[in-house]
Amino acid sequence: MNVRILLFLLLWLYPIPLWAQGYAGLGGSAEGFDVPSAGYEFEFPMDHGPHPAYRVEWWYLTANLQGDDGLDYGIQWTLFRSALKPYDSDGWQSPQLWMGHAAVTTPKDHFFTERLSRGGIGQAGVTAQPFEAWIDEWRMAGSDLDSLSLTANGEDFGYDLSLTAQGPLVLHGNAGYSVKSADGQASYYYSQPFYTVEGVLHLPDSEVRVTGQGWLDREWSSQPLATDQRGWDWFSLSFEDGDKLMAFRLRGDRGDFTSATWVNSDGSTEAIPNGSINLLPLSTDKVAGRNIPTHWHVNLPDRGIDIQVSALTPDAWMGTSFEYWEGPVTVTGSQKGAGYLEMTGY
């Protein structure tokens, strides 16, 4: 889940104008942070844990669910880590900050909430073995990444889910080295897109038993975007035949940068280079005072993919410290399926 990096960087104290200034100043080693490089070999389960020497990192789970009431639902559970300095320490003085986002999207409503914490005191963090990612009472935990329990609560909503992986981990880009711009900015990026999910959604008026499919993204980096890049559109789609597609478009002044990963149902992948996939907005909805493209045309000619992607609920706005659109989508056209869409910078 590539360019979500920005999200956490614009954490609570950063004023929005920083966006316009770009991120040239954040460039890697000068401030002591490590920078991703091609050829890195992941070590699991260690790499499921945090990498404090990198500036940003996240554990990002989305799921498309069907309720026993026959309705479609979507949930999001995200834990972001942002390092003010490239080390960790115990106590309040820890420079590692943590932010949690949780959301439930129903066909009519969108509930979301946010949590903030710092590292060093045990209020939030991630351990690789056994796996646990937590902030306050929110948890994503299990003996390993293959079977997880997931919980989060807001004022008027919450969920308790269990996830079971049905396939292998998936590396994006070049063996997990995912390039983000023509200038070479990159991140480490892998996913577990094969979860089956079951559990309960707690909604203001009801409890709904749900089942469905989940997708976990793991990504970390220190130098996420090129200076001209203004925002992104990111897709994670699961088709009925078991294939999956991750695709993103970074919108820049010097032109868009696209990247995608085709995931076969057995977990084998094909990286799709810049310019090979077309992501085109079809129509917009007025959401939170902005025009948000909620219908898309996705075209991957090499594989004969020609689909339309539509938001389940146009109003899936995350009005958190850093605002963005994130919600479940349905896929029609040459393929049928469901997935998640994230859009920032509108």
Partner 1 sequence: MTFAVVQALLSHWRVHWLQLATLLIGIALATGLWSAVQAINAEARASYSRANAQLALGQFDELRDPAGFIPMSRYVDLRRAGWQVAAVLEGPYRVAGRTLRLMGVDMVAYPALPAVTEAQQSDAPPDPADILTAPGRLLVSTELEHLLRGHDTLPPVLSTSALPPDVILTDIGVAERLLNQPGAISRLIILPDQPRGLHPLTAIAPELERISPSQKIDTAQLTDSFHLNLSAFGLLSFAVGLFIVNGTVGLAFAQRRGIIRTLRALGVSMRLLVWLILAELTFLALIGGLVGLLLGFFLAGALLPDVAATLRGLYGAPVTGQLTLQLQWVLAGIAMAVFGTLLASGHALWRLSRMPLLASPGVQAWRGDPRARHLAAVLGLIMILGGGLAYVTFGGLIAGFALLAGLLTGSALMLPALLSLTLSLCGRAARGPVAQWVWADMRAQLPGLSLALMALLLALAANVGVGTMVSSFRLTFVGWLDQRLTSELYLTASDDDQGREITDWLRPQVEAILPIRNVELSHETGPLFLYGIVDDPVYRQNWPVITSTPNAWDDVMAGRAVLINEQLARRADLWPEDVLALLPDHILTIAGVYSDYGNPTGQAIVSMDQLDWVAPGAENRRFGIRLNTEKATEMAQTLRERFNLPRQAVVQQAAMKAQSLAIFEKTFVVTSALNVLTLGVAGFAILTSLLTLWTQRLPQIAPVWALGLNRVQLAGLELLRSLLLAALTACLALPLGLVLAWVLLTVINVQAFGWRLPMFVFPWDWLWLFLLTLLAALLAATLPALRMLRLPPADLLRVFANER
Q: Tell me, what DSSP letter sits at residue 174?
A: B
Residue 55's nearest CA partner among 8, 13, 15 is: 8
Site string for partner 1, 172-211 (x = CB under 8 A): ------------------------------x---------
* Residues in Cβ contact with 346 at an 8 Å cutoff, skipping those fewer than 6 apart: 231, 290, 291, 292, 325
Q: Does 103 bind partner 1 (CB under 8 A)?
A: no
Single residue of 20, 41, 108, 155 touching partner 1 by CB under 8 A: 155
Q: By CB under 8 A, which span of 62-70, 131-139, 223-231, 291-299 interacts with partner 1?
A: 131-139
Single residue of 68, 69, 109, 137 touching partner 1 by CB under 8 A: 137
210 burial via Cβ count (<10 Å: 0-12, 13-18, 19+): buried
**Around Cβ 259, how many Cβ atoms within 10 Å?**
25
**Closer residue to partner 1 in complex, CB, 85/297:** 85
Single residue of 121, 280, 282, 288 touching partner 1 by CB under 8 A: 121
Interface size with partner 1, residues (CB under 8 A): 29
Q: By CB under 8 A, which span of 69-77, 121-129, 212-220, 263-271 interacts with partner 1?
A: 121-129
Q: Does 21 bind partner 1 (CB under 8 A)?
A: no
CA–CA distance, 236 with 243 (Å, rounded to integer):
11
**Around Cβ 50, how many Cβ atoms within 10 Å?**
22
Single residue of 39, 70, 92, 289 touching partner 1 by CB under 8 A: 92
Type and span of the H or E element at 196: strand 186-202
CB of 148 to partner 1, least distance (A): 18
CB of 244 to partner 1, least distance (A): 33
Q: What type of residue is 292?
A: I
Instruction: For 233-277, give the DSSP string.
Output: EEEEEEETTS-EEEEEEEEETT--EEEEEEE-TTS-EEEE-TTSS
CA–CA distance, 216 with 232 (Å, rounded to integer):
19
Q: Does 62 bind partner 1 (CB under 8 A)?
A: no
**Closer residue to partner 1 in complex, CB, 101/244:** 101
* Residues in Cβ contact with 289 at an 8 Å cutoff, skipping those fewer than 6 apart: none
Site string for partner 1, 67-86 (x = CB under 8 A): -----------------xx-
CB of 202 to partner 1, least distance (A): 7
Binding site for partner 1 (CB under 8 A): 11-15, 84-85, 91-93, 95, 97, 113, 116-118, 121-123, 134, 136-137, 153-158, 202
